[in-house]
Structure 1
Amino acid sequence: MKTYISLSMNDGLKMLSQSKNENSILLDVRHPDEYKTGHIPGAVLFTNENITQEKAEKLIPSKNTKIFVYCRSGRRSKEASQKLISYGYENVLEIGGILDYSGELEK
């Protein structure tokens, strides 16, 4: 069974910055109120509880997109990553929680 790849926040963000010219997206799967208090710059809100195959395919049409997923601590990002894999996405990278992020936040 295909699974997602888990990386540290630092390694994941480094890989994301190196893949800027490729088809990639950074997903924040926390709740909207958490997202509003501050998120990693460029992150798109896609709340874990609301992820369905239909919504995922609207937001991310290509199954080959590199999808970097994070939440607060790492639990929801693992759940969301597994859902995306089950919907047929090929490049899902789970990068843990924003608690491990030390850069600037966007509000």
Structure 2
Amino acid sequence: MKRTFLISCLIGGLAFMFPSFAVSNSDKLLDEYTMPAGYSEIAQNIAYALIEKNKGVLIDVRSPEEFAEGHIEGAINIPVETIKDGHILKEAPDLNKPLLLYCRTGRRATIAGQYLVNAGYKYVVNFGGVSTWQYGLIQDNN
């Protein structure tokens, strides 16, 4: 029994000292998540895990002014007004790579998502908006 306890402590200590030995919360979430084909809406913790693991193209569909005021790090700003129904985005030409969409509340991302599914994108997810995003935003310094 002492031997098992010591081994458990050693393994736990290694996971703490060397995080690559530990499974992250994002890994666990993504192990349990299957992205459906077409358009879908997902929880923000799933979106955060996908972003953290670079599992898609992150697109902010708000205006450039809104984007500059604060956006998710790594996001590309493509305003919904510039997304045409059925057209491929030059910033995301691979139709099989997931698109992770957001705006302020999720309404504009829904519109953009439908246009992008009509264009042939296989995986388009909307995770709402920055108004409820709890993982931090960055601002452009202009």
TM-score interval for Structure 1 and Structure 2 normalised by the shorter chain: 0.7 to 0.9
Q: Partners in 2 of 1:5 and 1:17 — Cα distance? A: 19
Q: Give the aligned partner of residue 34 of structure 1.
A: 66
**Which of the residues 24, 44, 50 maps onto 1:9?**
44
Residues in 1 aligned to 2:43 and 2:120: alpha-carbon distance in whole angstroms: 23
SS in structure 2 at match of 1:93: strand
CA contact under 8 A between 1:10 and 1:101: conserved in structure 2?
no
Cα displacement string for residues 44-72 of structure 1 (whole angstroms, at most 9, x for unaligned residues): 00000111215x1x111110011100000
Q: Give the gaps of 5 or more residues in structure 2.
A: 1-36
Q: How many residues align?
A: 101
Q: Is residue 74 from structure 1 mapped to residue 106 from structure 2 by the alignment?
A: yes
Contact 1:28–1:44 under 8 Å retained in 2 = yes
Where in structure 1 are there 5+ consecutive unaligned residues?
none
Q: Quick one: which of 97, 116, 121 aligns to 1:89?
A: 121
Q: Which has the higher strand share?
A: 1
Preserved CA contact (<8 Å) 1:29 1:69? yes
Residue 9 of structure 1 deviates from its aligned partner by 1.8
What's the Cα RMSD here? 1.4
In 1, are the aligned partners of 2:38 and 2:123 still within 8 Å (CA)? no
TM-score scaled to structure 1, two decimals? Answer: 0.87
Larger relative contact order, structure 1 or 2 (CA cutoff 8 Å, min sep 6): 1
Cα distance in 2 for residues equivalent to 1:26 and 1:9: 13
Distance (whole Å) between structure 2 residues aligned to residue 29 and residue 99 of structure 1: 14
CA contact (8 A) 2:59 2:77 kept: yes
